[in-house]
A and B are shown apart, each in its own frame.
Chain A
Amino acid sequence: LTEQSQHSDQFDKLTQLAVKICNADAAFISFFDRDRQWFKSKVGFDHAEVPFSTSICQYMVNKNLSYLTIPDLSLDETFKKYSDFTENGIRFYSGFALTSPDDSIIGSFCVFGYQPKQLDDLQLEFLKTMADQTMLLIESHKLNYEISIEAGQLEKRIIVTDKAATIGKLGGLYLDMAGQDIFWSPSNNVLFDLAVDYTMTFEEFELCNFKFENSFLSLFKKIWEVCNSQNNSRSKFSFEYEAADKYLEVHGELLDSEIYVVFQDKSKQQKLTHDLKLYRRLMEQVEEAVNLGGWSYDLNTKEVFWTKNTYAIYELPVGQNVSLELALSHFTSESYNEIQVDFSNLIENGTSYQKEYLFTSAFGISKWVKASGHPIYENDEIVQVVGSFQDITEEKSLRLQLQKSEMGAIQTANYYKSLVNNTTFYICKAGVDGGLTFCNAFYSSQLNVTPLDINGNKTVFFHAVNTDYLEPAREAFFSVASGKDSRRRVLLKETNSNQVEVYNLWDFIALKNSHDNLVEVLCLGYDVSELEKNRAQVQMLADYTSFQNKRILEYNSIVSHDIRSHVANSVGLISLMDIIENQDEYQNYFRLLKKEIRKTDRTIMALDKLSSVTSVFESGKERVPLYQLIEDIFDTFRRDKLNARFILVNKIPEDLVIFSIRKYLENLFSNVISNSLKMVSPEREFQIEIDAFQITNSILQIKIVDNGILIDMGQSGEGKVKIKRPLEGIQYGNGVGLYVIKQQIEALGGQFKLQNENGKGNIIILEFLNHEY
C-alpha cells in the first residue's frame, strides 16, 4: 500500500463523509513509517506528511490507545505544548488507530478543528466505523493486489509451459478421477493434430467417446485402460506409442485418484536413430561387398564410430575406443592439413567431401585412402557426420603403373603392327574348322589369298599345301584345333602365287578366349625353301668336315706314334753308342739304329700316301671371280623376290679372285643374303652392301653390311632388340640360317663374325684362307 496506489478515491469518500458527520475542519487517513506520518487521504489541509515523533497520533501509538479524543488542546497540559496547537492553531482532535490483523497499529483515521469541540457518542461510533471500514478497505486492496500479482505470474507460467511443451514436443494430461475433472494441455492439440481450441472433457475420456477422429484415439483408450488396471493407489507407468508417423513416449504417474500423464514426441530422434542404424547396417553391407569402411562422428557426444573395415585399414583392433584426434592423426603431414580443413568445413558448414589422402596405418604402412564425409541434420543443425573409408593403395599403384605402361603399350603395339606387316613371316588365323579368318599382307601376296576370300570364309588354311603334305598338315593343325596340343610345328611344301613350290615352316598355336575356350588357331609361317635346298649340300659339307677331322687325327697318330717312336729309338741308340765302350755292344746298337731309320723311312712313305688322299678337296679349288659371282647371286634374288623392295650393292673389286669351289661359294653367299633379307626393318628400305679386302697375303675378308633388324645370336648384350621375344619359341632366320653359314665357313678354316651398329643394321665378316697352292 503506497501513497500512489489506486483506489484512493474510496478513502477520500470516507474522509469527506467524516468531516461532514463530525462537523470538523479537517479529516485524514494516515499511515506510519519509522519517522514520518504520511496521509493516504486528507480533507481540509495541505501537508503531505509530518514528522511522526511530534504528532498527536504518535502519542496514541505510544500509549497503545485504540482511540484518542481531545476537545480543547489549549486546556490540556500535555497537548498545549504540541506544535499542532502552538504552530498550526488546532484546538480539537479525535482519532482511531488502524490496527492490522496482527494487532499492530499501522495508521490512524482522524478529524480535527480550529475550535474546541466535544463529539457525541454517535459521532464517535461513526468515526470508529470509518476506521474499521478503512482497515477492511486496506485489507481488500492488499488481497486484490496479491491476487493480481499471482494471476499475472500464473498467466506467464501457462504461456511458458505451453511454449516449452510445443517446442519440446511435450503434451500433458491431468485427471482427477474423484472430482471428475480433467486438465488438457493446449500443446496436446499440436501433438495430436487437433483443433487449436479443443479441450478434452472428463466425460469424453470416461466414456472413451471423443469429439475428434484420428489415429490417436487408441492412445487415450489405452491410457484409460492403464489407469483402471493399476492395482496400487500410487504407481508409475511408461509405454511407447506409434501412430500417424509419430513416435511417442508416454509417462504417467498415479497418485491416489489423480493421474498425471506426459507425452513426449520422439519421432525425430526416433527417425534419426532409425536412419543411423540403417546407415550403419548399409555401411556394413557395403563393406562386405566392396571392401569399404565406414565411420560416423557424433557432434554432441564426440563419439567416433568405425566399421570393421575402417579398423582393418587403420590396422587397429576392432572395437578399440577411438577419438577424432586419433582418427585424424594417421593422415601424413601433407594430407593432415587437408583432412583438417575438409573435416572442419563438414562439421561447420555441412560441406561434403570425397578425396584421396596419404595415410599411415598403426603398423606404419603407408597407404592411399579415399575418404568421404557427409552431414546429418536434425532441426537444421548438424548432429552427426558420416562417411566412407577405403584403402585404394593397390588401385592407385595400378593406375600409376597403367599410366607408366601406357607409353610402353603404344610402342609395343606399333612394334607388333610392324611385325604383322612384315615381309618375312606369314601370320594368319584360322577357325577350328581350318577356315581362314585373318592373314597378313605377306601371306595374302605370297599364297594368293584376297581379303574378300577371308571375309566370305571361303578359304581353308590348306589351300596351297601340296598333296603329299596334306596329311601331316591336317594332322598338325587339327591336333591344335582340337585342343590336344597347344602348339605344333610342321614343314609343308606349298605352291605360291608365282606357281613356284616353296617349303614353309609352320607353327600352329591355340588361341583361347577369356573363358579359356579354344576359339582359333594362330598360324605363323616362314619360307625356308633356300635352307631346304641347301640342306643336302650342308650335309655333304658336314660329312666332309668329319672326314677331314678323322684324317687329321690319323695324321697326328702317325706322326706321334709311328715316326716319333722310331726317331726316339734312334736318338736313344745314338746316345748309348756315345757312352759304351764294348765293341760288340756298339755293333749291335748300330745294327738296331739302321733298322730304326729304315722303319722311319717306311712310315714317312705311308704318310705321303695318306696326305695325297686328303688333297682331293684342295685340288677341286678353282679361280672364282668374286665380283661376278655376287652379281649372279644378286640377279637371282631380284628375280625370285619380285614383290620385295631392297637395294643390293656390290662393291667388290672386279679383278678379285678367290681360290675356292664355285658351288660352295654360291651356296654360302645365297644363305648370307637371304638370311639378311629376313631381318628387314619396317622403318627403312632394306639395303645390303658387300665388299672384300685381301687383308694379308693369304687371308681374304668379305664384309656384308645391312640395315635390317638386329640379329640376335643368343648372346646379345643390352640394348639389342631380340626379334624372337614377341614370338617366343619360334626361331627363324636368325638362328638356323646363321648357324649354317658359320658351319660352312668354319669347315674350311675360315672365320665368321657378327657385329651390329647401334640399331642401324648388322655387319657380317667372313674371312677365308685365299692363296694359290
Chain B
Amino acid sequence: MNTKILLIDDDQVSLLIAKKYLIISGVQDIVHEILIFDDAADALRLLRELEVKSESSLLCILLDINMPEINGWDFLNSIKNKNLHNHVKVIMLTSSISEEDKNRAASFSSVYGYISKPLDEQKCKEIKQIILGSAKA
C-alpha cells in the first residue's frame, strides 16, 4: 500500500526538526513520501482529493495542536465529521504537556499516538511502529 507521512505544523523550526529526524531515523525509508504543511487547511484539501480519487493509501499524520486558523482539534473534528479517516493514523506532535490535551486527543478514534516536542530518534521508533501497524501508543 502507498504510505504517506503528512507533517502539519505552523512553526517552521518545528517542521524542520521533525523532517530531519524522520530522515535520520529511517522513517522516510518505510514510506513513499513525506508531505509538509504549515497550514492545516492545505492538508485537509489533500485528504479530500485523495478521497475523491479513491486512492488507496495509508496516511500517517503528525499533527500540532496550537496553530492559527485551523488548530489540531479543528483538524481532527473535520476528518471525523467528513469521514476522511478510513486510512488515516494521526499522531499528535505538540509542545503541550497537559493531561487534559492528552485525554482529549485519546478520545478521537483516528489518533494513534501522542508525542511531545521535540522529536528525537527514540520517538521516531514509536512512529515507525504505528505506521507498521504493530502498536497504538
A→B interface (CB under 8 Å)? 556, 560-561, 564-565, 567-569, 571-573, 575-576, 579-580, 592, 595-596
Contacts and interface: CB of A to CB of B under 8 A. Distances in A.
A81 to B, nearest CB: 168
Contacts of A580: 20
B135 interface: no
Contacts of B65: 561
A576 B120 CA distance: 9
B116 interface: yes
A560 B117 contact: no
A556 B98 contact: yes
Given A569-B17, A592-B16, A564 B118 contact: no
Contacts of A568: 14, 95, 116-118
Contacts of B130: none
Contacts of A596: 13
B117 A572 contact: yes
Given A568-B116, A568-B118, A569-B11, A561 B20 contact: no
Contact of A564 (B13, B16, B97, B120): B97
A560 B118 contact: no
Contact of A575 (B13, B95, B120): B120
A564 B96 contact: yes
B3 interface: no
Contacts of A595: 13
Given A561-B65, A572-B17, 4 more contacts: A560-B95, A565-B117, A569-B118, A575-B118
A224 B37 CA distance: 141
The list of the 4 closest CB pairs from A to B, nearest first, reads: A572-B118, A568-B117, A565-B95, A572-B17
Nearest to A588: B16
Nearest to B120: A575
Contacts of B11: 565, 569
A48 B34 CA distance: 178
Contacts of A592: 13, 16
A565 B13 CA distance: 10
**Best-buried of A560, A568, A592 by chain B (most CB within 10 Å):** A568
A560 B116 CA distance: 11
B24 interface: yes
Contacts of A573: 13, 17, 118
Contacts of A579: 24
Contacts of B116: 568
A580 B117 CA distance: 19
A565 B96 CA distance: 8
Nearest to A572: B118
B95 A561 contact: yes
Contacts of A564: 95-97, 117
Given A560-B98, A564-B97, A569 B117 contact: yes
B119 A572 contact: yes
Given A556-B98, A569-B118, A561 B13 contact: no
24 contacts: A560-B95, A560-B96, A560-B98, A561-B65, A561-B95, A561-B96, A564-B95, A564-B96, A564-B97, A564-B117, A565-B14, A565-B95, A568-B95, A569-B13, A569-B14, A569-B117, A571-B118, A572-B13, A572-B119, A573-B13, A575-B118, A575-B120, A576-B17, A576-B20
A579 B120 CA distance: 11
Contacts of A569: 11, 13-14, 17, 117-118
B66 interface: yes
Contacts of A576: 17, 20-21
Interface string B75-112: 00000000000000000000111100000000000000
A576 B25 CA distance: 12
B104 to A, nearest CB: 13
Nearest to A596: B13
Contacts of B13: 569, 572-573, 592, 595-596
Interface of B: 11, 13-14, 16-17, 20-21, 24, 65-66, 95-98, 116-120
A298 B66 CA distance: 104
Contact of B66 (A565, A567, A572): A565
Nearest to B16: A592
A564 B66 CA distance: 12
A568 B120 CA distance: 11
A744 B11 CA distance: 44
A596 B24 CA distance: 23
Give the residue among B13, B16, B119 with the most A Cβ atoms within 10 A.
B13
A766 B98 CA distance: 32
Contacts of B21: 572, 576
Nearest to B64: A565
Nearest to B93: A568
Counting chain A CB atoms within 10 Å of each CB, the highest count among B14, B21, B116 belongs to B14
Nearest to B118: A572
A455 to B, nearest CB: 68
B71 to A, nearest CB: 10
B97 to A, nearest CB: 6
A567 to B, nearest CB: 8
Contacts of B24: 579
A591 to B, nearest CB: 10
Nearest to B117: A568
Nearest to A573: B17
A564 B96 CA distance: 7
A560 B120 CA distance: 20
Contacts of B66: 561, 565
A482 to B, nearest CB: 55
A596 B12 CA distance: 11
Given A565-B66, A576-B20, A560 B97 contact: yes
Contacts of B97: 560, 564
B92 to A, nearest CB: 13
A560 B117 CA distance: 11
A579 B98 CA distance: 30
Contacts of A561: 65-66, 95-96
Nearest to B18: A572
A668 B113 CA distance: 49
Query: Which of A556, A576, A596 has the most chain B CB within a 10 Å cutoff?
Result: A576
A571 B24 CA distance: 17
A575 B122 CA distance: 12
A575 B24 CA distance: 12
Contact of A572 (B14, B96, B98): B14
B28 to A, nearest CB: 15
Which of B11, B65, B116, B118 has most chain A Cβ within 10 Å? B118
B13 to A, nearest CB: 5
Nearest to B101: A560
Nearest to B24: A579
A177 to B, nearest CB: 126
A43 to B, nearest CB: 163
Contacts of B17: 569, 572-573, 576
A560 B24 CA distance: 28
Contacts of B120: 572, 575
A273 B134 CA distance: 104
A33 B65 CA distance: 161
A580 B16 CA distance: 14
A571 B18 CA distance: 12
A564 B21 CA distance: 20
A561 B72 CA distance: 13
B123 to A, nearest CB: 10
A169 B97 CA distance: 122
B103 to A, nearest CB: 14
A556 to B, nearest CB: 7
Contacts of A575: 118, 120
B64 to A, nearest CB: 9
A560 B20 CA distance: 24
A573 B117 CA distance: 11
Contacts of A567: 95
A575 B121 CA distance: 10
Contacts of A571: 118
A723 B137 CA distance: 54
Contacts of A560: 95-98
A360 to B, nearest CB: 66
